Chain A
Amino acid sequence: MADAVALNRWYGTEVGLGAVVDTMAQLRRSVARTASRTWVMTLVAIAVSDDEAYQATQVLRALGAHHPARLLVVQPQPEAVVGAAGIDASVTIYGTEVDGHPLTFDEVSLWVKGEAARHLDSIVEPFTLSDLPVVVWYPASLPAVSEPLLAKASSVLVDTREAHDVAGLIALAGRRAVVDLSWMRLRPWREMVAALFDPPEFRPYARQITSASIAGKGGPRRLLAGWLGSRLGLSKERMELHDARHARVVLRSGSTASFEVAREEGERLVRASAVIDGEIRHHELLPLPDDSLVWSLSEALTHLGRDRVWQQALAAGVAADAWL
């Protein structure tokens, strides 16, 4: 697949939404690279700073070149001075090629100033594609539970990696499909830990884990601890948490057995092992899973439903007070 190139771009300050929508149609007509388009969703990113907006557009572009979504990057600026219309906008039509098929996708950026920033639902609606899911992504911040935009979203994507206070998120997840990119990144780790108990002769230990040691960075460590706690019925007292750059999980069954999944220091490898009665019964090296934003976002977009296991892990993680 070729890199996406901007075929046409427009920028307007203090414009009405109608003008933005019309411009989008005009720009499309002028590029006319393809007779039809395949859409799968509208993807809305809510960015709280220029920096975040820039990062989000980079990721969405990398994704959009594969994944024909309409991309909308909204930057709410409630404190900004409102001019004639209160909205600055840019529209870009990108072109790329997939297997020789020309493909275009468009990206709309909106800077929403003043009071309108509290009514994003009314801003986003004119841009959503009919009948297709609307996925709202908060790259770094967490949405306020009262955010009206959430009512328009089929799914909400968040990232709890850096998030300290997730109480609101837990409440929100009770009501809508929320997908946590941090949880997506942990998916391969969960698979590796779970795989240790796949052999029938190791399976009984999964019910007899007496203590766990979990190392990692704040958000992921909280999720891992919450996951293990909620799945294995381990109380807070039985879990030992460490702050570390790399993830590491050790599960012990009394003094007889220990199961470990840890990143190899200095290598892009993960070591999974089981030691029973002092004897290494299992040992395996696995490639370090991808943890890029593009990867985790695409994982999230393929698992858009509610995830009860995540909800329980997050709640249990908070209860275990796993943020050091």
Chain B
Amino acid sequence: MTLTESTEANPLAAGLDQGRRASPGVLVVFGASGDLTARKLMPAVASLARRRLLPSTFAVVGVARSRMSDDDFRAKLIDAVPDGGPAWAELVKGFRYVAGDYGGADTMQRLKAVLEEVDADRRTAGNRLFYLATVPSVFEPVADALGAAGLNCPARPDAYVRLVIEKPFGRDLASARQLDDALHRNFEEGQIYRIDHYLGKETVQNVLALRFANAIFEPIWDRRYVDHVQITVAEALGVEHRGGFYETAGALRDIVQNHVMQVLSLTLMEPPAMIDAQGIRDEKVKALRAVKIMSIEQVATDVVRAQYEAGWSEGMAVPGYREEEGVAPDSRTETYVAMKLEVDNWRWAGVPIFVRTGKRLPKRVTEVALQFQRVPHLPFAAHESRDLHPNALVLRIQPDEGISLRFGAKVPGQAFEVRDVLMDFSYGAAFLEEPPDAYERLLLDAMIGDPTLFIRSDEVLQSWCIVDPILSAWASKDTPLARYPSGTWGPKQADQLLSREGRRWRTP
């Protein structure tokens, strides 16, 4: 018997608030034999299933060059989620694997056939989420091959086809444009979901909540009160065994172009009319457009690049970058960048934005700090206010997510001595629910079709526009490359970037 389909409301769903439950569909992972699939994607899928956010009419189809049978693939996925239990094993039974070259027409024909079988077996309704979890060099060929095979368009009028793409989105402005063109040859922008897992982090989203759910912060969030902004993305680790990869990237491409630009745009953007895909992304891209593009001369004065040397990190003696495996002994790849950015709009004109990111810094921390101006007049004797600094509001993104506010308070006693105190709010200490993993959140968003936390084409290109002049300036052999011992906050040139204007880096 063929069943008639219905779109009327499910009477049993009343009151269950299931707006965030995925509809039937297939997740097609290119690069399914790889690290990201095993370490992030499959645990995220299993967790969504455990939270009952995935329908039973869901399946994964893996695609990669490695030879594997469906059963080999399933066994691999079961291993990838050690706490999955029988429920995961049951779900995985419906998953399939297609071995083949990424851009091959033959791979796509076999994939198409498998997808039709899965639609019939698992009632996945023709919905497909293609996920490019493989090396960037195959992004274009896969997009073209999907297009050529007609897999870029829904097979049924009510179905969706979406493409999730991992960073890096190019390695400079020109290659980003080329990739973008390749994607747009085959997919509409509305189908493309560019992932920056930073946006899946609860605390990055909390920047929006803090700014736009509270009346007390927004009025002081501008040039009249803020002296300058510091964005820090610090890692304690070195390049580990990814030296070979890192040699082709560097801190500017690996962190600044994507994560830093995302955090920066959320911090600087104007309030959107709606917290939705268009509202947020329109304002983010407007903020990025206001960031001044540097001239080659400015890069020399306002950007510092550096490499770590041997030193001590978290109690261990560690090698310098050039001694790491896979790294050229005369490498000029930066493991650290500090820069001063300027923003040309009414809100931020004249407020410098200092950015620093690096490996082998003293600890792992990501934060945005708004340093406020001094009070116009301090009515205390100098010796009484020695220990007082201007207010600072710090949004800690990781590891211990929260907000702290530095302000002056009277020291108990007879004298009117004032000193800094820190008021600290920790998200972990205020809410019971464990926030979902960033991949889990983003994967579900992509299945539901909510692109708010994904990066739009114009955002990617604009952030490359900001970074591109720096890459060009560095291409010249005589741009200096500073050194810093592992386990320190970077080279002295980075300190001078601030001290020359009477400011200094915070110690996070």
Interface residues of A (CB under 8 A from B): 1, 34-36, 38, 40, 63, 66-68, 98-101, 103, 187-188, 190-195, 197-204, 206-207, 228, 231-232, 267, 269, 272, 276-277, 282, 284-287, 298, 301-302, 307-310
Contacts and interface: CB of A to CB of B under 8 A. Distances in A.
Interface residues of B, number: 45
Q: Is the interface of A mostly helix, strand, loop or mixed?
A: mixed
B119 to A, nearest CB: 12
B428 A98 contact: yes
Contact of A67 (B12, B14, B424, B432): B432
Contact of A99 (B12, B21, B428): B428
B214 interface: no
A272 B400 CA distance: 40
A101 B12 contact: no
B11 A101 contact: no
B87 A285 contact: yes
Contacts of B87: 269, 285-287
A200 B424 CA distance: 49
B90 A35 contact: no
B211 interface: no
A269 B89 CA distance: 12
B432 A194 contact: no
Interface in B9-28: 10-16, 18, 21, 24
Contacts of B425: 36, 38
Given A101-B400, A101-B402, A200 B7 contact: yes
B298 to A, nearest CB: 39
Contacts of B401: 99
Contact of A269 (B13, B86, B125, B424): B86
B26 to A, nearest CB: 15
Contact of A200 (B5, B12, B18, B85): B5
B3 A201 contact: yes
B48 to A, nearest CB: 12
Closest 10 CB pairs of A and B: A309-B15, A194-B12, A201-B3, A99-B400, A200-B5, A284-B56, A285-B90, A203-B6, A98-B429, A101-B426
Contacts of A191: 16, 18, 52
Contacts, number: 132
B255 interface: no
B240 interface: no
Contacts of B16: 187, 190-191, 194
A6 B370 CA distance: 37
Interface string B29-59: 0000000000000000000001010011100
Contacts of B13: 194, 198
Contacts of B3: 201-202, 204, 276
B14 A309 contact: yes
B50 A101 contact: no
Contact of A285 (B7, B10, B86, B400): B86
